[in-house]
Amino acid sequence: MIWKLKKFRTGAEASSVPVPSGLKPLFLKERGAAMMNKFASGLNDLITDVQGVRVGHSTLSNGDVQTGVTTIIPHGGNLFLEKLPAAVHVMNGFGKSSGLIQIEELGQLESPILLTNTFSVGVCTEALIEYMLADNPDIGERTGTINTVVAECNDGYLNDIRGMHVRKQHVFEALRQAESQFDLGAVGAGRGMSCYQLKGGIGSSSRLLTFAGQTFTIGALVLSNFGRLEDLVLDGRAIGRELVAAMNDADGEHRDLGSIIVVLATDLPLDARQLKRLAKRAGVGIARTGSYVGNGSGEIAVAFSTAESIAHYAETVISNRLAFHEDSMEQVFAATAEVVETAIAKSLWSAETVSGKNGCERMSLRSVLEDTGLTYDDVAIR
């Protein structure tokens, strides 16, 4: 297929949606706290502020079993027939995700994205294939096969990962329950995840940008499972060092052995190459929270655009598509770094304390703050 590009007007007309004077976009609303953001967030400050995107969870929580599945459905149509431009960026390839190679080669996404634990990639892949086959009898018969995308993190500290407790039914449950409103923290794939030696999991946020008089959205969803407490930075403040000192935890973990999966969605008309550039900026947001991307930590970002779909069965060899001007990517990059940083912070703040395998426990950020005597006003998420 050859695409003839139509120029999308940007340039001098491009701008961020300003944060109103005296108002900061809040994510810690129950405590009246917020990060100091440059860009305004969408209506719900979730990835689903990108129209058509839905998220669903299936959570397994029973003693040693602390795990689950999270799904991101990019649009409400048939993803195999109406694919989306997409890209992958691997910052550190210590991971076992599936479906990334074809995205790298073709620049297209043709299935929902599933998140789970490392040893459940296989069952999730099988279930997602079945899900896609049910709506597409031509797959594997009159046309090619399907590239399903499943990404993972290792939740073995809290979860009996060797038990491989995720089943197909849990994948189907997450897909059925996908909505525009969804929970954050220790839910779905995030149930057993750890972030900066605290309870991590699912986090999400969104940012608004205006180009040529139109408002667009960039959304992020993270599965956070990385970092050392001593390195944690929130809104520019090295709060992790203060927490370690307050907890008198000089003998804590010294290696970053976790991972993070970042899913980026936007309704900006970006092509696969530009989405690759977008995905690379997820690393900036990760680094802002204090990560140095450890040797055993897998950092992977997947980005897609909902602006225009790509037909599986093309009516013509040449198609006209919108093109976003490269000079206006500056604001897009800045918003991407910010939305990823906030999504990680929300994964920490939204999570509850969880006890799991062999009595291991990860405390929530809120619990640690309370136990150390630091008030909410003391931390830099203000």
Beta strand 65-73 pairing with 54-62: antiparallel
Does residue 305 have an active-site annotation? no
Q: Which long-range contacts (CB under 8 A, 24 or more apart) does 291-295 make?
A: 291/226, 291/227, 291/231, 291/256, 291/260, 292/231, 292/256, 293/91, 293/92, 293/256, 294/92, 294/226, 294/255, 294/256, 294/257, 294/258, 295/92, 295/94, 295/255, 295/256
Please answer whether residues 108 and 83 qualify as being in contact, where contact means their C-beta atoms are separated by less than 8 angstroms.
yes
16, 205, 259, 347: the catalytic one is 259
- Residue 122 burial (10 A CB sphere; 0-12, 13-18, 19+): middle
**Model pLDDT, residue 187:** 98
**Model pLDDT, residue 254:** 61
Q: Whole-angstrom Cα distance, residue 33 to residue 263?
A: 25
**Model pLDDT, residue 108:** 98
Please answer whether residues 239 and 372 qualify as being in contact, where contact means their C-beta atoms are separated by less than 8 angstroms.
no
297, 309, 328, 364: the catalytic one is 297
**Model pLDDT, residue 250:** 54
299, 305, 328, 338: the catalytic one is 299
Does residue 299 have an active-site annotation? yes
**Model pLDDT, residue 375:** 56
Nearest to 310 by CA among 280, 277, 279, 271: 271
**Model pLDDT, residue 21:** 34
- pTM (two decimals): 0.90
What is the Cα Rg of the chain in Å? Answer: 20
For the chain, 382 residues long, give each residue's pLDDT as a single digit of tens.
223 233 333 333 445 554 433 333 334 444 334 567 899 999 999 999 999 999 999 999 999 999 999 999 999 999 999 999 999 999 999 999 999 999 999 999 999 999 999 999 999 999 999 999 999 999 999 999 999 999 999 999 999 999 999 999 999 999 999 999 999 999 999 999 999 999 999 999 999 999 999 999 999 999 999 999 999 999 898 999 999 988 876 555 566 678 999 999 999 999 999 999 999 999 999 999 999 998 888 899 999 999 999 999 998 999 888 999 999 999 999 999 999 999 999 999 999 999 999 999 999 999 999 888 875 555 544 3
Does residue 259 have an active-site annotation? yes
Residues present in the chain in total = 382
**Model pLDDT, residue 184:** 98
